[in-house]
Chain A
């Protein structure tokens, strides 16, 4: 079945630097990819998504890159702020019914 993995369980950055969080997936038929942010004591919060027919999508201070050749997904956060400190999950659409397959998450720590 589909599996999703993240390259680093933790990432520590200085405030103002750019952050890059990586994710790998296994099913080449996956069509839809989403990044969620989860702060302590809260549920996951949608950040940005991308369809398989795209390789890049930009939001406010965030960019998602999709490389279908190597089945790799990344989230770039520009000018990282203390409020960006959270656990970030990539999730893959497994084919309907709102059944998302989540990775284990990367904890982003932003230091002043």
Chain B
């Protein structure tokens, strides 16, 4: 069975540009969450989507946005990139909306470098 798949795996952008990252959840999973992992730190929650609606948002600026499609795949968009946006962006899927005995399965991530 395919796990959580993310694309692209690596990308390089320059300051001010825009980036779109994509995620396909495990088949049957309806919830997708996005996390940012800066080098040397733990992942930090950005968004959660369930049934195409935003259900949770972390402490990130409005430059970050996301959406979920009818097939439950998701996109994370970041506008006006800053050097500090350089990180590994992780997507995780789960069966249900709420955590608690609801294991998040992570993809391998998209590594973004902003120059």
> Is A109's CB within 8 Å of the partner chain B?
no
Contact of B33 among A32, A42, A46, A98 (CB under 8 A): A98
Do A102 and B44 touch across chains, with their CB atoms under 8 A apart?
A: yes
Chain B residue nearest in CB terms to A102: B42
- Please judge, given known A-B contacts A43-B4, A43-B108, A46-B104, whether A97 and B55 are in contact too, CB under 8 Å: yes
- List A contacts of B98 (CB < 8 A): 96-98
> Is A51's CB within 8 Å of the partner chain B?
yes
Q: Which of B52-97 contact A (CB under 8 A)?
A: 55-56, 58, 90, 92, 94, 97
- List B contacts of A31 (CB < 8 A): 100
A63 to B58 alpha-carbon distance, docked (Å) = 31
Question: A24 to nearest B CB, angstroms?
Answer: 14
Residues of A in contact (CB 8 Å), total 27
A58 to B76 alpha-carbon distance, docked (Å) = 36
Contact of A51 among B33, B45, B101, B108 (CB under 8 A): B101
Do B100 and A32 touch across chains, with their CB atoms under 8 A apart?
A: yes
Q: Which of B26-66 contact A (CB under 8 A)?
A: 31, 33, 40-45, 48, 55-56, 58
Q: Residues on B close to A: CB < 8 A?
A: 4, 31, 33, 40-45, 48, 55-56, 58, 90, 92, 94, 97-109
Q: Residues on A close to B: CB < 8 A?
A: 4, 31-32, 34, 36, 41-46, 49, 51, 89, 91, 93-94, 96-105
